[in-house]
Amino acid sequence: CDEIECSSLLVPVDFVQECDISNMDDFSGLEECVLGNVISLSGHGEELIKAREVEHTFEDKVGAVRALEVLQSVDDFCEKSSSSSNSSNNMP
């Protein structure tokens, strides 16, 4: 919600544990079952998010190292080219 209005999004979710209302005398059992499933799914979602953050961090580091290696090789090439052209200009 923001200061003006609220929005809702309905998304079908598969529960870890089935909530069978036929065996429940009142809705308190259903509420407990739904809440337990939501807590379970929330924990599972947090684990997935953490796992993906680790994967992205690793990929970013690998990409950064590769980019640094490329830049260093280009820098080395430019230094070699510069030094070889300077030495050829100093020849009589």
Contact 33, 17 (CB under 8 A): yes
Q: What is the largest CA-CA distance in the chain?
A: 104
| In contact, 19 and 34? CB cutoff 8 Å | yes
From 16, 71, 65, 25, select the one nearest 44 (Cα to Cα): 16
Task: Please report the pLDDT score of residue 74 as a whole number.
Answer: 78
Can you give the pTM of this predicted structure? 0.47
Closest CA to 11 of 50, 31, 38: 38
Successive 10-residue mean pLDDT values, the chain, 92 residues: 80 84 73 88 88 72 78 77 58 51
How far is CA 32 from its chain centroid?
A: 31
